[in-house]
Amino acid sequence: MADERALVLGGGGVAGIAWQTGVLAGLAAAGVEVTDADLVVGTSAGSTVAAQVTSGLPWEELLARQTDPGRRSEELVPAGSVAEALERMLTLRSEGLEPAEVRRRVGALALAAETVPESARRAVIEGRLPVREWPRRPRLVIPAVEAISGAPVLFDAESGVDLVDAVAASCAVPGIWPPVTIADARYVDGGLRSMNNADLAAGHGRVLVVAPFADPVLEEDVAGLTGDGARVEVVAPDEASAAAFGTDPLDPATRTPAAEAGYAQGRAEAERVAALWK
């Protein structure tokens, strides 16, 4: 197996964006720069973080965009809650449906939901991205799901899709934010495939997963990666970070505490991550 490195950034709402940014900034401050990966996989909130941290902006700027209220982009009021969206998906999965059928049904719900206008949501995503071009390196992969067919798609620099549209699609939580129109199709959250999509790091010898939310699929993905000979480390919220998330990860008020808790956790995790990365 090639000794290439992959960074996997999972879904987690506004709090997840802030926390992951803090973790990565804390690691960098401790001398562990993980954005020099060969591959970055960003799902939902993780797609926003991935686009930001591969933009070339310094960590001080990226962290300030989360901790300084004066540097933040405008946010919209969501049509529902993450808890409601997760409950809908879990209810469908409990019926014993195949994953593809679950994705199709959730996609249908997303298409029928009343949400903010698609253009308004895109403007928010655009405001979150300091640089709106795909990075030349590392390779950035952003998963989403086609709403009608339920088919997963992977956007990257070769897909011909605008970076803002790719991130908006991956962040389109069903029933909360509008599906995103790209060409003649509409797309919803990449977390509908899985919250982290760590299996997309297959073929890489060292994999770091930064996972804001618990994901039952992640354990299977990590087992598959390690079974293929990869070394894998997972950073999940510690007690302080979990408290900073609060009860609603879409609440903009979680940004500063989540980013600060993530930064502290990143510094604390630096030795463990360095053993993998370096």
185-189 and 206-210 beta bridge pairing: unpaired
Amino acid at 74: E
Where are the extended beta strands (E) located within the chain? 5-9, 39-42, 139-146, 152-155, 180-182, 185-189, 206-210, 231-235
Question: How far apart (Å, rounded) are the C-alpha atoms in residues 32 and 267?
Answer: 9
Annotation says 44 is catalytic: yes
Question: How far apart (Å, rounded) are the C-alpha atoms in residues 4 and 212?
Answer: 24
Closest CA to 168 of 150, 142, 194, 149: 142
Query: Of the listed 38, 165, 189, 221, which one is catalytic?
Result: 189
To the nearest 10°, the Cα dihedral for 161, 76, 255, 111? Answer: -50
Helices 59-67 and 13-29, axial angle in degrees (round to 10):
150
Q: Is 269 helix (H, G, I), strand (E, B) or coil?
A: helix
Catalytic residues: 44, 189
